Amino acid sequence: MTAAPVTAPTRSSWPPRLAAVAAVAVANALLALVAPLLGADLVVAPPGQDPAAVSAGAFAVFSAGFGLLGWGVLALGERLLGRRGLVAWTVAAVLITLLMVVPPLSAGGTVATTVVLELSHLVVAAGVIPVFWKSSPTS
């Protein structure tokens, strides 16, 4: 009689990743709600467009949307490339975070609004990159 091979239990990556996406959405919505206390009116006027206020809901939706997009790209990379997909995604995520410094600078808002917009990008990166890395089945 032979024993069945022992396999290590696989951990699911989706609960911590979903929690990270939800957390950055909530954190950025809260950031938008307290922004007026920091002197930020959250009104932006990109070149050629009328001034418009950015709502707390927009902060939440965009944070969650880009978090989910990143998750999908990572899942595809992990499936196709294994650990190399995780490494490539992490490098790309950090580079995209660095590139996302530029759009708020041209958004035509006050200095305080620009700082809040920049901070919101950092919240997403700091919230999802480490969690996605740690929760990867390839790590």
CA 31/CA 29 separation, integer angstroms: 5
- pLDDT tens, N- to C-terminus, the chain (139 residues): 666 555 444 668 899 999 999 999 999 999 999 999 999 999 999 888 899 999 999 999 999 999 999 999 999 999 999 999 999 999 999 999 999 999 999 988 999 999 999 999 999 999 999 999 999 998 7
pLDDT of residue 12: 86
The answer to whether the CB of 1 falls within 8 A of the CB of 33 is: no
For CA atoms 89, 57, 50, 44, the dihedral sign is: negative
Q: What is the DSSP letter of 109?
A: -
Q: Is 8 helix (H, G, I), strand (E, B) or coil?
A: coil
For 46: left if phi > 0, alpha if psi spans -120 to 50, otherwise beta; the answer is beta
pLDDT of residue 59: 97
- In the chain, where are the structural domains located? 14-134
CA 64/CA 73 separation, integer angstroms: 14
DSSP string, 54-80: PPHHHHHHHHHHHHHHHHHHHHHHHHH
Cβ neighbours for 79, distance < 8 A, ≥ 6 positions apart: 85
pLDDT of residue 81: 96
